[in-house]
Structure 1
Amino acid sequence: MQPLQRKVVPNEAKSLVLICEDPDVPKGNWDHRIIFNLPADTNFLTEGSKKLLLETKLGRNSWGKEEYGEPCLPDKKHYCYFFLPLCTLDTLLELPNRMTKEQIKRAISGHVLAKVELIGLYARPWQKN
């Protein structure tokens, strides 16, 4: 997977929020990863990034955990789409770890300076029958 990268940062930026969500599930969106209070000068994240700074917080995914949850496709489904909105904020969020996506969205209301969104595709590995 290509690293998530950005080049232009508003001068007023204080932090970033990144959410990895899957809208292709039967019961609405499924949150695979939620990261907030990323430093505003973060230019890229690579797959499996382990270097999250102390002020960076992890939200609670749809499994109820503060980590990345891998996709689990139903038997007859061979792919799903992921949406990765990245919001640049004019503040650090005064929230603890384990916040849900809904709690974070309420907290960022009125603080978003810029937003970009990457759409990715996850496909089941091909298997020879």
Structure 2
Amino acid sequence: MEEYFTIYPIYFNSSISLSAGRKYNKELCINLNYKELVHALQKLNMGFKEEKDKRHPKDINYGRVKVEKKYGKTFTISGIVETVKTIREEALKMEKEKKEKKVTTINEESTGKKTKLVSRKRVNKKKGKY
């Protein structure tokens, strides 16, 4: 009896039909890629094997993961979905914080006056070209 079950990223692609390779309900599908799948399993501290050179017969993208059966399929799938959602939310927050930090550092360097960020493109007023 096998100790692992296989998960392909195509199983979570909501734009693909069930007959084309999607395996789970569209509500669970989040269009993840192989790297996100591996990162989510690492965050969940689950035992798994990476197989980068393998691919689903109906998909052109490479990569699959074999997860130990002791965790259970439904627990694993729901954990992957929730973890990827939180990873994406954290990435958006980090991106917003970086933008805010750029604005505040420019204001701190000025002489007390508030400065606005201006595009570095120069416009030729006569011709209207960049």
Question: By the TM > 0.5 criterion, same fold?
Answer: no
- Higher fraction of helix: 2
- Greater relative contact order (CA < 8 Å, ≥ 6 in sequence): 1
- TM-score scaled by length of structure 2: 0.27
- Higher fraction of strand: 1
Computing the radius of gyration from Cα coordinates, the structure with the larger value is 2
